[in-house]
Each structure stands twice: as C-alpha cells, then as structure tokens.
Chain A
Amino acid sequence: MLLSALILLPLVGALPLLTVRDRNAQEIKVWAFIVAFVTFLVSLPLWTNYLVAPGLPLYQFVERYPWIRMGGLNIDYAVGADGVSALLILLTTFLTPIALLGSWNYIKERQKEFYIAMLVLETAMIGVFAATDLFLFYVFFEASLIPMYLIIGIWGGEDRLYATTKFVIYTVFGSLLMFVAILWVYFKASAGLPEGEASFGITQLADRLEALRVAGQLSRSQEIWCFWAFALAFSIKVPLFPLHTWLPDAHVEAPTPGSVILAGVLLKMGGYGFLRLIVPFFPHASAFYAPFFSWICVIGIVYGSLLAFAQKDIKKLIAYSSVAHLGVCMLGIFSYSEIGVQGGIYQMLNHGISTGALFLLVGMLYERAHTRTIDYFGGIAKVVPVYTVCFVIVTLSSIGLPLTNGFVGEFASLLGAFQADPKVHGTWGKAYAGLGGLGVILGAAYMLYLVKRVFFGRLIRASNEHLHDLTGRELGLLIPLLIMIFVMGILPTPFFRRMEPAVKAFLRAANRQAQGPEVMAIRNAPGTEAEAGIAPGRLIPVAQVTPSITPAEAAKSPPAQVTVASVRRIGAYVVAEVRIQNPDEKHPRKFSALHASFLDAEGKKLCDAIQCYEAQHFKFNIEKLTDQPHLGAAITGPSHRIGPGQTFEMVAVGALEPGAGEPARATVNLKFMDGTAAQGKGP
C-alpha cells in the first residue's frame, strides 16, 4: 500500500486547496508544504524497508489491481519498486518540499493554483517511477507534462509561453511516437496468448518479446523501429544532444521551483526510460545502437560544457551544464558495465541534488537582484558570505570534487565507460572515457569561471552592496541538500547496494543480446538453410569453417554417433541433451549445421530447436532458467569441432507454443563439413 499511498497523498492533499480562497496565501503555502513533507516522511520506508538479500524479489512494495479490461486490452494498476525506482521516488519526495519552500516568496500570483499544480506534479512523478504496468507508466509520464506546462506557462518569466509550448510540443512529439510503439508491442506480444494472459506488465512484456525474438517472430527491423520510437521519446526527455534546445528555454523561463523539479526529477525520466523500458524490451537494437548513443553522450558532455561556458545568464549556464551532466549519466548507462550503470544512476541522483540546489541558489539571487546576468554581479562574496559558501560547496559537488557526491557518480560512470562491455562497444570504451573526461576539465572551467565572475573581485555595482544574505528559511532548505552532498560523497555504498539487484537484472536483460547479434547473423547467413535442408529461421547453422578432413577420408572413417540423452521441459522452453561421438581416432570432425525437433509422446512434432549450446556452458545456466524465464547471458555460439575419439555434449533448446503438449522425445540431424551426416533420436 505504500506506493499507492505515496501516489495519492499529494493528490488528495491538493484537494482541500480547491476550497480555500486565494488570499489565504500563508495557509496555502503551509498546507502544501505539510502535504509534501508528510509525503516525504511516508516515503522513508522505501529506504529502510527495501531489502537486498539473496532470494528476495527485485520488485518490492508490489500492488496490482485490474484497471481496464476491454477490446483485448488488459491494463492493470500495477506498482512496485526496485532499488532504482525507490531511490528516484525518494529523490522526488525529498526535492518537492524543498522546492515548495524555495517558492515561498517567488510565487506571488495565483498561489493556490501553483501549489495544486506542484502537488499534482509530485503525484505524477512518483507514479512514473512506481508504475510497473507500461500503460500506467505512460499515463503518468504524460500526466506530468500538464502541471509542468502550467507552471512554466503561468508563473514563468517573460518568454514563458514560447518556452512552455516548445517544451510540451517537443516532449509530446516524442511520446506520441512511443505510444504507437507501446500499442504495437502490446498487440504483438499478446497475439496468440489465451484470453487474460496478455498484459501490459513491463517485465512480462520484456520476457514475451524475448520469447518472440527467440522464436523468430520478431524481426530485427521491427525491433529497430520500435526501439527508435521509444528512444526518441526518452532522448528528448533526457535530453541528449542534439535534442536539447528545449531545455535552456524551459529552465530560464520556469520559476525556481519549476526548474528544480524539472532538472531534479523530470529529466531523470529519460534515463529511467532507457533503463527500465528500452534496453529490456529491445536488447538487440539497444546493443547495436549503444555505441552511437555513447558518442552522442560524449558530444553532449563536451558541447554542453562549451555552451555553458559561453552563457551570460547564470540559469542558462546551469541549464547547459545539465546537458553535460546528463551526458555523463547516460554514458555510464550505455556502457553496459555494472559499475557504469550504477554510476550513471548515482549521477542522476547527484544531478537532482546539486543542480536542484544550484537552481534554488540562483532563484534566491534573482529574488534579491531581479536579474541573473552574470556581468551584473561581481565581488558579492563580501556582501553575502553565507550564500557564497553554499554556492561554492554546491559548485564543488557539481564539478565532482572527491568526498562530494559528484565525484562518486562521475568516477563510476567514467570508469564504467572505460570498461564498456567489449561485446557491445568493441574497444571504444577508452575513447568515451578519455573524451567524456574532458567534461571534468570543462566543468571546472565554466563553474569556477562563473564563481569568479559573480563572487570574487571588487564589488562592481554599488547597488549590490545592499543584497542581504540568506534568511533562516533559505538556509534551512539548503542545508538538507548540502548534507546530502557530503553524505552521498562519503557513504555511497548503501545507495549502490540498493540499486545493485536492479542493475544486475538490467544487465541480464541487456545481455540477452550476447546471443543476439551472433545468432541473428548466423540465422541469416546465406546458403546455410539449403545446406541443411531445413526451413529457414528454424535452423542452427554454425559459422562457416573449412572441413578438417576431406570428404574422401570422411567416407572411409566411421560415422559419428548421435544420441539424445534426455528431454526436459523448463517453463516455456524445452531442452534436449545431445551427445555426439566422433569414433574416428585420428581425425577431428566439424559439424556445420544442426537441426533438432521436439516431439510429444505420440510422435507429433511440437517445435524445432532454436538455440544450441555447449552443455558445459548450459549447465551453468540451467538453474537460472528455472527462475528466469529467459535465457542467461553467459552462453555464446556453439562449438563445432569434435576431437578424435571424443564426445561432444550439447544442449538444444526449443520454445514451446502456448498450449503445446508435453515434449517427450527429440530428433537430431547433423551435417558435417566433410559432407557426411548423422542422425539421432531419443531418449
């Protein structure tokens, strides 16, 4: 009930505000803050009660109720939290009360509506991170746009209408494409399933897509189309270069609390979407495009930093720095290495805290001076010392100084990029880290340059002499952020441990491609179908190799013996243990193609094998198969060489159609490079 309570609390809390008159501003503010603060308190069990131990489920606090049942749509209200969602929800509930406090004197008109919008926004944000049903996710994802549209459009700066329209149209453009893809994925996945088994559940969809892919019913081009529909939506949200131009406009025009929430939480939905949806749904396409996206991130880091350097407006500078920081996050996530993904997620949390704090600080300066132009200030450290100290500490966090949170995230992300999975990235990892690492230098350059121009030197404007230092309220709302900066810098391990299972699950899903490109390439290798004489797409040909003995010799040597030792059903899969013995004591044999069919007890063919593995690799995964309905990651292509007099043990795997009978036997056909063939049946 925890997550539902969290989702509903701000929404319900906003209801009484509808009845209050606008002139009771103080009461409205206090009430909204109380609601947000209570929500934060209620969310604390996500930290204390999310348990990480072997055998515990990944998703905890799970709830599921049927919501919409019509026309083949099975939409549930399903929520749950793994470590990543729990941390992001905590970030949301932590930042919202702070942002509300930060808007205390900033928002002067239509206060009631503003606080209602903020609370509704909080509901939508929590909903996005809590939803485990894709449709529900989409609803919250889109719902979060509406209050933000209003917040920028009503309470924003001079150019607010342009900025908010750009923000909404840009985002909706991406998410509508995604909506089409969501429906396509759902109907594709539910086709052929019995009534009631279809589901919008995110993990169910991912597993179902994997089954379809393994069965050859989801083509590569279909996957790529869907991938781009999703990726575009979330790339805009992150935002990745070159889709970032809505961000500076939105940030500059948004009121302070809007900027805080936009940078702190809304942008995180982009990374979260890649993490939760795109990669698990489309592992092949994701792996294929991961190097491309990594380069985009590297460009974003350098480009965002350079642009930040060139800004004249403090808020715009910070907005562009977000582009660079999120580049680091996404670089870590795309690295496909555990440390990188964890670092990327950590960097998302960091960015929420330190950029949130920076926007708050800029807002406070703006309230005093009514401008954010850098050149207007200069030398104000003497006038506002406490403010300066806070700003410098947040700056240090932002440039990743060790023992602040920024270092941990940046270090882990870049280290992950350096160690980027060579299966996906080849040897580019070092280049990502080296070039992305330029952000370390450039980040220090633009932030310290900013600090120098605003705070140091002589006081260049007499009017700035009367700026007053932080009030108690302002200091009070900054202190939690400052404390978190150091806590997350010095004690990162509890955070990492919470997200570890989720990251491991993500990598398992991502590494479905470990077989992916290889198998897909082999399956499409020309000529191999004909060679084995089997229907296309149902074949497990092996790479083309030269025969180890000539056909003439092979004809003389004793034929290979094929036996099927056992046939077992594991979930939706069927597995046969096959032994191939090479009785020739002198020559090795190489087989070029294998075809296995699974039959039920009456001899009726159920399905063909779709994968085969060397048994020693497969045993390692057989336990995983029982609790993970997809295939494990450690398996690579089959071995094809059988030494003289040796026996080769392998495993053939087939995917059963829904409602198929119980498999009992298997037949195996082998074709050797030397032109001979062998057959086996059993058990």
Chain B
Amino acid sequence: MLDQLRDLFPGWLARPDHYHTWYEQMLCLIPLLPLLGFLINAFARKTISRGASGAVATLAAAMAFGVALLCYMACAIDSQVATVGKYAGMVQEHLQSRPFQPMHAFYGTWLDVGGFRANFGLYMDELSGLMTLVVTGVGTLIHLYSTGYMGHDKSYARYFAYLNLFLFAMLLLVLGDNLILTFVGWEGVGLCSYLLIGFWYTDGDKAAAGMKAFLFNRVGDLGFLLGIFTLIAVFGTVDYVAPPEAAQASSAVMRVPAPPAPKGMLDYAANIKRIDPNGNLTLGQVDASQKLDLSGTVGKAVFPSWSFKLAIGLACLLLFVGAMGKSAQLPLYAWLPDAMAGPTPVSALIHAATMVTAGVYMVARLHALFLFSPHVMMFVAFVGTATAIFAALIGLTQTDIKKVLAYSTVSQLGYMFLAAGAGAFSLAIFHVVTHAFFKALLFLGAGSVIHGMSDEQDMRKMGGLRKHMPVTFVTMLIGSLALAGFPFTAGWFSKDTILAVVLAKSHDDPSFGSWWMALYGLGLIAAFCTAFYTFRLVGMTFFGACRADEKTKAHIHESPAVMTIPLITLAAFALLAGWMWHAFFSAPHFLGMPTPLDNFNMNPPEIGVEATEAQEHWHHVHLVNLGWTSLAALGGIALALVVYVAKGFVPKGEGGNVFTTLSRNKFYLEAFYDKIVSNAFILFAELMHVADVLLIDTLLVRGVAVATRWTGAALRSLQSGLVNFYAGGVLVGALVILYLLLLS
C-alpha cells in the first residue's frame, strides 16, 4: 500500500531526510483553500444555507490571502535572517542584491512520459508572490462584495463555487513552478470565465458570450501550446527554475539510471544582463560556470538548422499569441467586451483585475526568454500600442457603463504589453497591480450603480447619482482619477513611467528609435482618450439631472456596507498604491527582473561618470514625458468635464460623423467576427459535410458496392443455362487457344 502511494506521490513520501520549512509546505494551501471552498459549495450547496455558502467562499479567499501574506513575509524575513546569520559582515550588500528568498515546494510528479516531466510544484518569488497577493487580496474583497451584490440571485451557491474555482485556477497559474502548470491554470481560468460569463445561462446571448470567450481563448491557447512544445524542444524541460532537491531525489528513486541534474528554462537564460539592439547578448557574469550553458538542451535535434535565438524567438511569438487571447489584444480582443454579460463582480475580478492580466504575467515570468528576441519584443510593443489606441477610441462613444470599462481594460492591457515590449517588465507588472486596484474599484462601483439603478446599465438613463450614492460616487471618482492618470494617483505612476520608458527608448534604441517615437505618440493619444472617456463616464453617471424613469428613480439607493467596504478599501489602494513606484522602478532587480534602467545601459553595475550622465539623461526624459502625460490627462479630464458636466451633453447613440459611427460600431471588427467569420465557418463545415456524404460515402463507398452489384449482374447473364450458349463459348475458347498456339 505504501509502495503504491509512493508510486503516486513521490514527493510527499520519499524525502524524510530533506528539511523543508513549514511555510514552504503551506504554499499549497494558497490554491487548495479556494478549491476546498469550491468543493463544499459544489457538493453541499443543497444542504448549507445561502449565508453559509457565501461565508465559506469568502473565508476561503480570505484565508488564502492570509497564507499568501504569511508566505510572502516569510520569504522576505527569512532572507534577512539567513543573510545576517551567514554573511554578518555583508548584510547591507546582500540585502540590496537579493531582498527576497524564493520558496519552492514540490508535491509530486504529474506527467512523466518519454523523458519529459512536469511536476506539481509551486514557486513563490517576488513576481508570483506579488501576483498572489493581488489575486487573493482583490479576490477576497470581491467575494465580500458579491455576498451583497448577488444577494437576490437564485444560484447563489453555484456562483460562489465558480468564483472559488476561479481563484484556485488563477493561483495555480501564478504559483505553478512550470509552464505546464501555468497552462493548467490558464485553461482553468478560461473555463471559469466561460462558466461565469454564461452564469445566467437561460439567456442564450449570455451563454453565447461565454462560448465566444472560450473559443477566442482557445485560439490563443493553441499558440501557447505550440510555444510550450517549442520550449520543450529547445530546453527539454518546462520548469522555470531547477526543481527543489526533493524532486531531484525522488526522480533518482523513480528512474534508473538517474537523469542528469535538472535545470529550469530560466536557469539557462537568467544570466543575460542585457541584449543590445543587434541581438547580441551580454551575460551578467563571465564566470565559466555561469555561462549560458545549453549543452543539456535538445534543441538541435528538433530544429536542426535553427539557431538557438531563432527557436526561442518562435517560442516567444507563439506564447505571445496565447497572451493575446487571454489578455484580449488585437485581433483576439473581441471576446472581452461580450464577457460583460457576466455578473459585475465577475467582470471586476476576472475581466479586469486578474485573469486578463495573466498574459502580462506570463510574458514577465518568461522575460528572460523574451529578451533573446528583440523583434518579438517589438512586435509585443506594437500589438500593445495598437490595442491601447484602438480600444481607447472605441471607449469614447460607448454608452453601456460596463462596456466603457471593458474597452478601457483592453486599452490598459495594451499599455502593459507596450511596457513589456519596451523591456520594462517590472513596470508592466506595476501597471497590472495598480490597474487591478483601480479597475476592480471602477467595476465594483459600476456594479453598485447598476444595483442601485435596478439593473440599468445605459449611462444615458443615469445622471445625478452623486447625491443618492455618495460613497459610490467618491470612490469611483478616485478610481477614475487613477485610470485617467491624474498626478499622484496610482495610475499616474504606472502609466506615466511606461510612457517615459518608451520615450527614452526612442532616444536610446538605434534600430527601432523612430518606431518608439510613433508608439509614444499613440500612447499619449490613448492616454488623452482614456482621461476623456473616464470622465465622460463620471459626468454622465453622477452629474446632471437624473434621466431614469420614475419607477427606477424611486428605488435608487446607496449599496449596503458589504459592498461599500470593498469600494473604500480599493479606493485607498487606488490612491496610494502608486507610492510603491520606487520599489518597482529603481531598486535593482526588483521582481527578479532587469529594471528599465538596466535595459538602457543607464545603470551599469559600477556607477561611474558615464552612468551619472545616463541617469541625468533619464531624468530629463522623464521630466519631458511628465509634461506631456499630465497635459494629456488633465486635458482629457477638462474636456470631458466641459462637455458632459458643464454642458450636460447626452449622446443619442445614432448619427454623428464618420468617426463617432466607426467608434460606436467598434470599427466593425466585432461585426466581422460575429457575422462573417462565424457564418463562413459554419458554411464551410456544412459544405464539408455535403462533400463527405456525396463524394466519399456515395461516390466512393457506395460506388464500390454498386459496381460490385453491376459486375455480378453482368456476369450472371453468362450463366444463362442454355446448352447452345455454353457450347458456343467452348468453341470460341478453343479457337482462341488454337490461334495463340499457332501464333507462338
């Protein structure tokens, strides 16, 4: 029995001699607590009360957040303790270089086939730790909010079951120590998104929106999958970093002979200090043992004529296709606006704060690989900018409050990819974090408005709500300021710095310089549009006269405390989270990634005269950018206030000039998908079906049958039973034989 168990869970039973701190084992609780919540709500939903299912789910999320916080702090504190103990003299230096001790826990092998392994292992470093905190923290608030928002829904337990399942999948995505486990979470969040968008499944359109989301994501997932295959071909592994010793020990037990000591993908690539525009690598250390050692990889066999860089570039491109699907980038963005069919807290959690940023997370996780391929990075930046401006333009004319926020999310995701493409991965994550706060806040605020307005989502029927819903108004105002990039709010810090980096790149990058200038310009325009549509939303919703009908008007009320407490908490973060800026930006290697300064050769390891000049240059660029972005943000806000507050303009939703028509109709891209692509596909499938029936089944298969019958019928006429006929046949035959004999 024990052998069988050991067979199944080698990690848990085969390492009594390995020391593992208790909190490292606790890592698995972070995803498993929500899973437990899901199971309770899924199987016991008939037996427990409504209050209990909400409480179970919220508690599961809150406990996951608690454990995550504990683990995160343990990582930070442990490293300091260890440092003091080991290097008493060098405390200062060591703390600066590595202020975080990653945790890596191994819970067994999942796939072990044909020399390929994928483990159940969780890995918490700065990056995944921060994401975990955001996911569980924002997640807990949204669970709490949902207990109020979904209070009247019949499928209360089902809702919370899905929400907890989502947290489980998202945490697996973030904490998984290998790409396959990330993919498991990736597909898992896609499933939960599908289930939650179509939560009110009796509405066929909502169910269709869920299906659309899943299918668009699947297109990206194929790219992701092929990217994984390429990386496996190159590295022979999918682990980010080498598995912990426990896993290596168990692998020796399991296989004879033991495989060579495993390495993670990023171990191969971690040493890249910088990559110049020509694609030449500069390694951080020139120590022979630290060199980029690819001898253990198998790339040559699968890509015989390819260079390592080319294969990595292909892999990154394919992985980015996956990110385009999940993070709603052009041209795979079309599912996200439709995803607003789901309950509003779901839009806040999944389609704004967490799941849609998974693509950014994945790119940041694999940043060491993306750095190999400047062209792919450039492509990432292009797609990000195009999406940012495209969605911002659409956002200008939408009248559905959630649609405005949806397009805004698409647009902000574009900024994140712009940052990643510019090499400023830590800034991309910074924007993920601030965006999670202010966009979750805005969605929850919108939910509060919708809740108070008896499920009305059209902003043309709102107005003047600031008097009725003061808490919602103030918190949403804070969120809007952050989204618009008002100075000193969270969004200002992150977006402004992204644009500053892009501007710096335009000076600094000789091969793509002018392109970066163009991207910067587009980014500024998008920032202006963002500020405009955000305050258009605020103006139409909260200012002016109330345009609702009398019945709705009578019902308008501020939301209960369970809904306003999350709003207030998130507002505080939206206001203050920007001050983390310093940590993301200037501390060396925060999140274990090169900082933007690293990438521009502005922050060389030894600070000398040149470096100071470079830094001064950077400060100059930053200041110039500050002027432009502030102008864009304040200008957009001011214009919107003039049009929608001072003048009280209400769009009619039809007519207008060419531009507003295009914008309102989303440049007809979504119509193209819905009408032309999907119908063409169905038609093609029908045609193939007809071809199958007519050509293959009728012509070939039944053709053979008919031909056989005809042959039989023809031959049957020979068996006429007439003796004369047979005698004639014998005679003819004899003559033929005679003739042939004579001839030879």
Contacts and interface: CB of A to CB of B under 8 A. Distances in A.
B211 to A, nearest CB: 5
A437 B256 contact: no
Contact of A342 (B114, B188, B204, B681): B114
B116 to A, nearest CB: 6
B225 A411 contact: yes
Interface in A154-188: 166, 169-170
Interface in A454-513: 455-459, 490-494, 496-497, 503
B191 A401 contact: yes
B229 A415 contact: yes
A419 B233 contact: yes
B701 interface: yes
Given A448-B214, A452-B208, A457-B201, A245 B689 contact: no
Contact of A493 (B112, B302, B700): B112
A403 B304 contact: no
Interface centre among A166, A170, A456, A497 (most CB of B within 10 A): A456
A622 interface: no
A114 to B, nearest CB: 28
A452 B207 contact: yes
Contacts of B183: 402
A414 B229 CA distance: 9
A449 interface: yes
A112 to B, nearest CB: 33
Given A242-B696, A493-B110, A493-B111, A440 B229 contact: no
A415 B685 contact: no
A358 to B, nearest CB: 18
Contacts of B685: 306-307, 309-310
A494 B7 contact: yes
Contacts of B77: none
A97 interface: no
A440 B201 contact: no
Contact of A303 (B7, B230, B681, B688): B688
**On chain B, which size bracket covers the interface?**
35 or more
A414 B230 CA distance: 12
Given A402-B183, A493-B110, A440 B222 contact: yes
Interface centre among B184, B226, B686, B705 (most CB of A within 10 A): B226
A411 B224 CA distance: 12
A412 B111 contact: yes
Interface residues of A, number: 63
B684 interface: yes
A433 interface: yes
Nearest to B186: A402
B291 interface: no
Nearest to A418: B229
Interface string A270-312: 0000000000000000000000000000000001001101110
A230 B534 CA distance: 69
Contacts of B114: 337-342, 412, 416, 503
B215 A433 contact: no
A396 B191 contact: yes
Interface in B299-321: 301-302, 304
B57 interface: no
Contact of A402 (B184, B194, B203): B184
B225 A414 contact: yes
Interface in B636-691: 681-682, 684-686, 688-689
Given A310-B689, A457-B201, A493-B111, A437 B7 contact: no
A491 B686 CA distance: 39
Main DSSP-derived SS at the B contact region? helix
Given A337-B114, A401-B187, A440 B8 contact: no
A231 interface: no
Contacts of B191: 396, 401
Interface string B547-575: 00000000000000000000000000000
A429 interface: yes
A189 B222 CA distance: 47
Contacts of A343: 113
A457 B109 contact: no
A245 B696 contact: yes
A307 B113 contact: no
A126 to B, nearest CB: 25
A427 B701 CA distance: 34
Nearest to A169: B705
Interface centre among B113, B180, B232 (most CB of A within 10 A): B113
Interface in A386-441: 396, 401-403, 407-408, 411-412, 414-416, 418-419, 422, 427, 429, 433-434, 437-438, 440-441
Contacts of B8: 491, 493-494
B24 interface: no
A440 B194 CA distance: 16
Interface string B277-312: 000000000000000000000000110100000000
B202 interface: yes
Contact of B113 (A311, A448, A457, A496): A496
Given A306-B688, A456-B198, A492 B229 contact: no
A381 interface: yes
A433 B226 contact: yes
Contacts of A459: 202
B218 interface: yes
A526 interface: no
A433 B230 CA distance: 11
A147 to B, nearest CB: 24
Interface string B178-193: 0010011001100100
B113 A342 contact: yes
A66 interface: no
A444 interface: yes
Nearest to A312: B689
A379 interface: yes
B304 to A, nearest CB: 7
A497 B253 CA distance: 14
Contacts of A437: 222, 225-226
A457 B207 CA distance: 7
B136 to A, nearest CB: 21
A582 B705 CA distance: 68
Contacts of A411: 111, 180, 225
Contacts of A490: 110
Interface in B61-119: 109-116
B221 A492 contact: no
B631 interface: no
Nearest to A337: B114
A306 B684 contact: yes
A54 interface: yes
Interface centre among A342, A452, A490 (most CB of B within 10 A): A452
A445 interface: yes
Given A242-B696, A407-B184, A458-B204, 14 more contacts: A245-B697, A303-B692, A307-B692, A310-B688, A337-B114, A339-B115, A401-B188, A411-B225, A415-B116, A418-B302, A444-B214, A448-B214, A493-B109, A503-B114
20 contacts: A169-B705, A307-B689, A309-B685, A343-B113, A396-B191, A401-B187, A414-B225, A415-B232, A418-B232, A419-B229, A441-B222, A445-B215, A448-B214, A457-B204, A492-B111, A493-B7, A496-B111, A496-B112, A497-B112, A503-B114
User: What 10 A-B pairs come out closest when comparing CB atoms?
Assistant: A339-B114, A457-B204, A456-B207, A338-B114, A310-B689, A402-B184, A310-B685, A245-B697, A418-B229, A309-B685
Interface of A: 54, 166, 169-170, 242, 245-246, 303, 306-307, 309-311, 337-343, 379, 381-382, 396, 401-403, 407-408, 411-412, 414-416, 418-419, 422, 427, 429, 433-434, 437-438, 440-441, 444-445, 448-449, 452, 455-459, 490-494, 496-497, 503
Interface of B: 7-8, 109-116, 180, 183-184, 187-188, 191, 194, 198, 201-204, 207-208, 211, 214-215, 218-219, 221-222, 225-226, 229-230, 232-233, 256, 301-302, 304, 681-682, 684-686, 688-689, 692, 696-697, 700-701, 705
